[in-house]
């Protein structure tokens, strides 16, 4: 990442960095919940990364799909998951780039931080999803700004969120 940021600077580009990914890839939302000691322990094996993002073929049956959907939604309210996220964010924001010597929070090549790439919480199953995501965004955006008042903070969504306002 250090080299990418420095190379972008040399070419006159700006970057937007996502702290983590919503999807099932290594170290994404589901991994944070699995690491947590405050979330319920996993009772079903995590689906394998066969085709990238979850697809209907990922799940063996509707029970597994519902289990993974509910487990994923825990990320936004689980204490340890949020603390792991904050530790991760703090380490990135305070990282010193080995190529240019700048701490990321002081690097003008970074245009903004994405809180989470494509945040999701499936309201078709978890009724309080919208409020979970909304409250998580408020909490984490405020946290990022305490560490780095210099950069913009984005949600990381593709332009839709849900009902109501973020206020």
pLDDT tens for the chain, 167 residues: list them. Answer: 999 999 999 999 999 999 999 876 667 899 999 999 999 999 998 877 665 556 566 667 888 888 988 999 999 999 999 999 999 999 999 999 999 999 999 999 999 999 999 888 887 788 888 899 999 999 999 999 999 999 999 998 876 555 555 55
Total structural domains within the chain: 1
Query: What residue numbers bound the domain in which 106 lies?
Result: 2-154
End-to-end, the C-alpha distance of the chain in Å comes to: 33
Tell me, what CATH number does 28's domain have? 3.20.20.80
The torsion angles phi and psi of 66, rounded to 5 degrees, stand at -65, -40
What is the Cα 11 distance to its own chain's centre? 28
Q: Is residue 163 part of a domain?
A: no
Q: Is residue 167 part of a domain?
A: no
Q: Is residue 93 part of a domain?
A: yes
The rounded distance, in Å, linking the Cα atoms of 41 and 14 is 41
Q: Is residue 85 part of a domain?
A: yes
Taking residue 12's Cβ as centre, other Cβ atoms within 10 Å add up to 7
User: ∠ CA(18), CA(101), CA(112), 5° rounding?
Assistant: 25
Q: Is residue 165 part of a domain?
A: no
| Closest CA relative to residue 65, chosen from 118, 140, 125, 13 | 125
């Amino acid at each position: 990442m250090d080299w990418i940021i420095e190379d972008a600077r040399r070419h006159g580009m700006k970057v937007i960095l996502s702290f983590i990914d919503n999807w099932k890839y290594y170290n994404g939302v589901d991994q944070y919940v699995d690491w947590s000691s405050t979330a319920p322990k996993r009772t079903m094996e995590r689906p394998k990364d066969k085709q990238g993002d979850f697809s209907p073929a990922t799940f063996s049956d509707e029970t597994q799909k519902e289990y993974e959907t509910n487990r994923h939604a825990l990320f936004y309210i689980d204490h340890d998951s949020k603390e792991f996220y904050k530790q991760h964010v703090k380490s990135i924001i305070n990282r010193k780039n080995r190529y240019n010597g700048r701490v990321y929070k002081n690097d003008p090549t970074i245009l903004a931080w994405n809180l989470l790439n494509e945040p999701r919480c499936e309201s078709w199953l978890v009724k309080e999803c919208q409020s979970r995501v909304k409250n998580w965004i408020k909490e984490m955006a405020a946290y990022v700004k305490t560490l780095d008042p210099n950069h913009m903070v984005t949600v990381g969504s593709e332009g839709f969120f849900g009902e109501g306002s973020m206020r």
